[in-house]
Amino acid sequence: MPAEGHGPGAPALDHWIAGAATPPLSGGRVDDVDPATGEVLARIARGDADDVERAVVAARAALAGPWGRATVEERARVLEAAAAGLEARADALARLESEDTGKPIALARAMDVPRAVANLRFFAGAIRHDETPCHRTDGRALNYTLRRPLGVVGLVTPWNLPLYLLTWKVGPALALGNAVVAKPSELTPRTAGVLAEVLAEAGLPPGALNVVHGLGPEAGQALVEHPDVKALSFTGGTATGARVAATAAPRFKKLSLELGGKNPTLVFADADLEAALDGTVRAGFTNQGQVCLCGSRVLVERAVYADFVDALVARVRALRVGDPRDPEVQLGALVSAGHRDKVEGYLRLAREEGGRVLCGGERPTDLSARVARGAFLTPAVVADLGPACRTVQEEIFGPVVTVHPFEGEAEALALANGVRYGLSASLWTRDLARAHRVAAALEAGMVWVNTWLLRDLRTPFGGLKDSGVGREGGRWSLDFFSDAQNVCVALEGAGPPPAPTA
Ligand code: TXE
């Protein structure tokens, strides 16, 4: 487990630098709070530019040492051993993730931990099977492409899927032989500490992965600014992403930004409506609606709108909200009391904008004593809002969906595409031609047809418009975490070269 026992009360969680738990130079600490109970779980290191500097020095030293010379096979084996290490600690990790985030333990067990394991295994396989292109130039030359590691890369990750998203970036970064400095969310830092230990046990040399904890504007900003950090992969809010881009762009860093969403779920009258209801509820409320891919705008063809909304409300009312430790609970706490306040603010705004809250949006009154003061909110469905309302335009990132009728494909697409975001969409229809037509016309990086969040790790992941820049996943991750170098070899006897061209 991460370093514990520094002082009284909650255990201290230190940085992980050069293969060891490392207290912050400033001595500053930030509380990591369980949003379901209000308990302080850990006092995390409050990192700053000096700590980031130490981590980058350790990362550079790792690249100059054995890690910089590790073969593909050696790197793949480290990732596989770490995947097994995470699996062996699955129960403990699920508990840490559930306590840090407020999410149901059942969800952490079923989704967060298995996916973290899968991420590391997947990128071990991906690097073993990687291929690069070779271009033959009119019989005169052979061009082949080398992948070169970038060097030190910075990873900044959010609080909604902490280990899941950190491994999604650590896997390909290490597979390619980079050294990493990671800055996990200050709200949910503990599983990152375990990951660092597990990777060390798996044989990762000291300094190849460093974790600097702390606040975004301090540790995060220092990482983004550091001149020796060659690339940044950031997942988080769109406003923070803009700040990261503004800092990184003039320093010519490679940048991958996975940002917010306001994703539509489109339900056509010809859909399997039972399946569509299941999918709409899952898309709307998984992880208390705190997944960037959540479908928070439910667009329903008018012919079935009234019946569909009635059935949706009945299902949403039946969702069990409560103590994340209860294995039957489907919705736990939101990530913090502050975030719960923000979501409640949007529900007030929805009413001011003329919306009708059909269910939910309240602080539950039937919670067990252990979690009675937690950041809970019952899942809400809001109707009667026009497409221009702020509630319909802005990312709420909580257990709130808005419902809207539409007439025909053109209106469905106008509504679906009528926001600044373009991350994902799900559409429900039995008409195959319509599915392809609408999918191609949706302004979204990822479209699911008759499903939601069915993921194949080989596929490109990322958003259009204000949902981000770049793609990760499969070869897109390998492309991001490496530089392509072309080598052009003249073929013997190919005759004089043609006049030079650019
Ligand atoms: O995230 P931030 P916040 C959305 C969601 C949410 C909103 C704000 O709508 O309500 O964003 O959430 C680090 N330089 N998403 O403020 O700030 C920070 O410490 C470098 C969508 O909690 O984006 C954390 O590690 N780093 C989302 C990470 O950025 C900085 C998931 C993300 O935090 C920084 C989370 C800075 N200047 C929120 N400032 C998704 N796409 O899934 C902060 N950070």
Residue 1 in this model has a pLDDT that exceeds 50? no
Indicate the pLDDT class of residue 498, thresholds 50, 70 and 90.
Answer: low
The model's pLDDT over 126-158, given as tens digits with 9 standing for 90+, comes to: 999 999 999 999 989 999 999 999 999 999 999
Which residue's alpha carbon is nearest to atom 31 within ligand 1? 236
CA of 200 to the centre of ligand 1 (A): 28
Residue 342 alpha carbon, nearest atom of ligand 1: 10
Which residue's alpha carbon is nearest to atom 15 within ligand 1? 237
Instruction: Among 240, 257, 390, say which to mutate for ligand 1: greatest number of ligand atoms within 8 Å of CB.
Output: 240
3-state secondary structure 57-110: HHHHHHHHCHHHHCCHHHHHHHHHHHHHHHHHCHHHHHHHHHHHHCCCHHHHHH
Which residue's alpha carbon is nearest to atom 20 within ligand 1? 220
Mean pLDDT in residue range 375-404: 98
The model's pLDDT over 275-285, given as tens digits with 9 standing for 90+, comes to: 999 999 999 99
Residue 397 alpha carbon, nearest atom of ligand 1: 9
Residue 6 in this model has a pLDDT that exceeds 50? no
The model's pLDDT over 426-436, given as tens digits with 9 standing for 90+, comes to: 999 999 999 99
Domain boundaries, the chain: 7-259+467-485, 263-449
Residue 180 CA: distances (Å) to CA of 59, 174, 196, 477: 7, 7, 11, 15
Which residue's alpha carbon is nearest to atom 43 within ligand 1? 216
CA of 24 to the centre of ligand 1 (A): 22
| The CATH classification of domain 263-449, taken from the options 3.40.50.1820, 3.40.309.10, 1.10.287.130, 3.20.20.70 | 3.40.309.10
Which residue's alpha carbon is nearest to atom 28 within ligand 1? 158
User: In the prediction, which pLDDT does 492 show?
Assistant: 83
User: In the prediction, which pLDDT does 501 show?
Assistant: 66
Residue 25 in this model has a pLDDT that exceeds 60? yes
Among 108, 109, 96, 114, smallest CA distance to 189 is for 96
Give the residue, 1 or 500, on which the prediction is more confident: 500
Pocket residues for ligand 1 (CB within 6 Å)?
156-160, 183, 185-186, 216-217, 220-221, 224, 235-237, 240, 243-244, 258-260, 292, 395, 397
CA of 237 to the centre of ligand 1 (A): 4
The separation between CA 175 and the C-alpha centre of its own chain, rounded to angstroms, equals 19
The model's pLDDT over 248-298, given as tens digits with 9 standing for 90+, comes to: 999 999 999 999 999 999 999 999 999 999 999 999 999 999 999 999 999
Residue 292 alpha carbon, nearest atom of ligand 1: 42
Among 312, 253, 307, smallest CA distance to 279 is for 312
Residue 241 alpha carbon, nearest atom of ligand 1: 23
CA of 394 to the centre of ligand 1 (A): 15
120 CB-near residues (< 8 Å, 6+ apart): 79, 80, 82, 83, 86, 167, 170, 171
Residue 467 alpha carbon, nearest atom of ligand 1: 41
Which residue's alpha carbon is nearest to atom 24 within ligand 1? 185
Is 0.85 surpassed by the pTM of this model? yes
User: What is the pLDDT of the chain when averaged over all its residues?
Assistant: 96
Mean pLDDT in residue range 85-110: 98
The model's pLDDT over 110-123, given as tens digits with 9 standing for 90+, comes to: 999 999 999 999 99
CA of 79 to the centre of ligand 1 (A): 27
Sequence length of the chain is: 502
DSSP 363: -
Which residue's alpha carbon is nearest to atom 42 within ligand 1? 292
Q: d(Cα 481, Cα 173) in Å, to the nearest integer?
A: 6
User: In the prediction, which pLDDT does 493 show?
Assistant: 77
Mean pLDDT in residue range 185-190: 98
Q: d(Cα 420, Cα 164) in Å, to the nearest integer?
A: 26
Q: d(Cα 384, Cα 369) in Å, to the nearest integer?
A: 37
Q: Is the dihedral of CA 197, 159, 97, 79 positive or negative?
A: negative
CA of 67 to the centre of ligand 1 (A): 31
List the beta bridge partners of residue 256: 233
Residues 451 and 426: beta-carbon distance below 8 Å: yes
List the beta bridge partners of residue 42: 32
Catalytic site includes residue 292: yes
Among 443, 455, 397, 441, smallest CA distance to 417 is for 443
User: In the prediction, which pLDDT does 502 show?
Assistant: 61
DSSP 321: B
Amino acid at 1: M
Task: Find the catalytic residue in 97, 197, 292, 472.
Answer: 292
The model's pLDDT over 400-410, given as tens digits with 9 standing for 90+, comes to: 999 999 999 99
CA of 361 to the centre of ligand 1 (A): 23
Mean pLDDT in residue range 467-476: 97
CA of 479 to the centre of ligand 1 (A): 24
Residue 183 alpha carbon, nearest atom of ligand 1: 25
Which residue's alpha carbon is nearest to atom 30 within ligand 1? 216
Task: Find the catalytic residue in 97, 99, 197, 258.
Answer: 258
The superfamily CATH assigns to domain 7-259+467-485 is Aldehyde Dehydrogenase; Chain A, domain 1 (3.40.605.10)
Mean pLDDT in residue range 389-395: 98
Residue 244 alpha carbon, nearest atom of ligand 1: 14
Please report how many Cα atoms fall inside a 13 Å half-sphere around the Cα of residue 293, on the Cβ side. 19
User: In the prediction, which pLDDT does 4 show?
Assistant: 38
